[in-house]
Amino acid sequence: MSEKDIVQRIKDNVERQNDNWRFVMGREVLTKKEILKRIDKDSKFRKILVKMVIDLSIDILSRQSG
């Protein structure tokens, strides 16, 4: 799965959230719309999200194999 595919899955997941849903990074509180906008425009933010998802996958996989 390419980074593009992962980004698309993240966007699909965010789109499924309700309108009151918020993503909080320290002092930054992002709505659904703001996240979807930033994923497209902010490459640093996009990389953070992709890394989070990959790290979670690795975490789950390594615990299953361990």
Partner 1 sequence: MWLIIRPVFDEVTEITFNEAQDVIDYFTEKGVAYIDLAKEDAVREKVEKVLKETPDINVHHADHGSEDKIWGNDDRPVIDLENVELLRGRAIHNNNCSSAKKLGVEAWKRGCLAFWGYTEVVYFTTDALEEFKEAMNYGLKRRVDGFSWSDCLKKTKERMTELIDALVKAGKALAASCLRHDRDSLVCYNSQPPAEPSCPVRRLSVKVFGANIGWKLTRKFGIAILLFGMGFGIALGKLTHTFWEIGGLQEVFAPQGDYVGYALMLIAFLTLIIDHTEGLRKR
Q: Identify whether the C-beta of residue 17 lies closer than 8 Å to the C-beta of residue 34.
A: no
Q: Identify whether the C-beta of residue 5 lies closer than 8 Å to the C-beta of residue 53.
A: no
Beta strand 28-31 with 22-25 is: antiparallel
Site for partner 1 contains 66 (CB under 8 A): no
Site for partner 1 contains 26 (CB under 8 A): yes
Site for partner 1 contains 53 (CB under 8 A): yes
Q: Out of 22, 33, 37, 47, point to the residue binding partner 1 (CB under 8 A).
A: 22
Residues that bind partner 1 (CB under 8 A): 10, 13-14, 17, 20-27, 29, 52-53, 55-56, 59-60, 63
